[in-house]
Amino acid sequence: MAEQGNSDAFVSFERVQKSYDGETLVVKDLNLTMPKGEFLTMLGPSGSGKTTCLMMLAGFETATHGDIRLDGVSINHIPPHKRGIGMVFQNYALFPHMTVAENLSFPLEVRKMGKSDREAKVKRALEMVQMDAFGGRRPAQLSGGQQQRIALARALVFEAELVLMDEPLGALDKQLREHMQFEIKRIADNLGITVVYVTHDQTEALTMSDRVAVFDDGRIQQLAPPDELYEKPQNSFVAQFIGENNTLEGTVESIAGDRCTVKLDHGEVIDAIPVNVAQKGERTRVSIRPERVEFNPDMGPDAHTLEAEVQEFIYMGDVFRTRLKVAGKDDFIVKTRNRADQERLDPGQKVKIGWLPEDCRALDAT
């Protein structure tokens, strides 16, 4: 008998753990709740535990410990086909011998639905993904993007309130992948469905999600909306994993309120926001995003100004990416918008750079 829960959350993981060998935990004490209609992405490197979490929610893996609930009901012991969850995989998993319409109809036949109801639902699902003219074709007659739309339609055909997507765009080329990101998000928003999306592609996660759960070593390192994740990373792993990031190592000299002073290993002294440093003498990595740094800064009296030496100047179309030697490190990156008045910089050229203390975060040293 499924246990009834009290939570208002639509999806919840409560102290969930997973081990395959009885010793090593690939998911460690996971607590996560999602409201209805949210698009949540599980993001992380290979082996971080994100796909295992998705497979436990789908029912293809069983939690070693803890409880997974859907709409307040424990689903730990409910088989996958009875959970009413739609799934979209990277390899599409379409039956090659069936037409598009037959592929979509199949999960409805399994549920013993009548022919006229099946046909109406298949038609509606194909219209959702703008593929209503392709019902008679077989998967081999479709492009990769079209096949992915059909895989999405199949997950939506029985009007599942929860759809799980495991690296669904990984096989597509860059331009089509970017187009499908917006398409999937648009469909999810229009239908009001709840989506759990797994990827290792940070751009995908930032583009599509209401919230992103960044996984590493079987734990969620930070769970936040995309802008907060990027602008306010809570630890060094998140700062390095999300977007491009500059780090300078040093030691905390003082902390007062929302500011700390850090003496860099090269000798420079800078101010930063203390995020996860607590006392004087603590080692820290200071994090600054490349687009927050300016050349020849005129940013007011609070700005830090450092000497730098150009190592590399790269034209990237919409931006220029300059690699500098700063505070003894030769991998400091500055990104500047492509403007008509942008001065081209040469390797070996000495320049001044600057940033504001509020754009600088003192994080853990590991």
pLDDT value for 165: 92
The number of beta carbons lying within 10 Å of the beta carbon of residue 35 is 13
pLDDT band at 297 (very low <50, low <70, confident <90, very high): confident
Nearest to 204 by CA among 234, 232, 235, 183: 183
Q: Which tokens is 353 given? A: 């750079």
The number of beta carbons lying within 10 Å of the beta carbon of residue 319 is 16
Nearest to 12 by CA among 66, 77, 52: 66
Q: Which tokens is 255 given? A: 């902390």
Nearest to 13 by CA among 302, 220, 314: 220
Report whether 329 contacts 288 (CB < 8 A).
Answer: no
Distances (CA, A) of 328 to 45, 266, 340: 29, 6, 31
pLDDT value for 4: 43
Give the rounded percent of residues in the chain with a pLDDT score beyond 70.
98
pLDDT value for 6: 45
pLDDT value for 249: 95
Q: Does residue 83 carry a pLDDT above 50?
A: yes
Pairing relationship of beta strands 246-256 and 219-224 according to DSSP bridges: unpaired
Residues 114-137: tens digit of each pLDDT: 888 888 989 988 988 888 899 899
pLDDT value for 334: 96
Report whether 221 contacts 30 (CB < 8 A).
Answer: no
Nearest to 69 by CA among 149, 136, 15, 140: 15
**Bridge partners, 304 (sequence order):** 355
Residues 182-217: tens digit of each pLDDT: 888 988 898 899 999 999 899 999 999 999 999 999
Q: Does residue 175 carry a pLDDT above 70?
A: yes
Average pLDDT over residues 111-116: 85
Rounded Cα distance between 53 and 14, Å, is: 12
Q: What is the CA radius of gyration of the chain?
A: 25
Q: Give the list of residues 6+ apart from residue 236 with CB closer than 8 angstroms, or none.
A: 247, 285, 287, 363, 364, 365, 366
**DSSP secondary structure letters along 257-283:** TTEEEEEETTS-EEEEEESS--STT-E
Average pLDDT over residues 106-115: 84
Q: Give the list of residues 6+ apart from residue 69 with CB closer than 8 angstroms, or none.
A: 5, 7, 9, 11, 12, 14, 75
Q: Which domains does the chain have, with CATH numbers?
A: 11-231 (3.40.50.300), 244-363 (2.40.50.140)
Q: What's at 103, amino acid-wise?
A: N
Distances (CA, A) of 261 to 230, 253, 271, 277, 300: 23, 5, 5, 11, 18
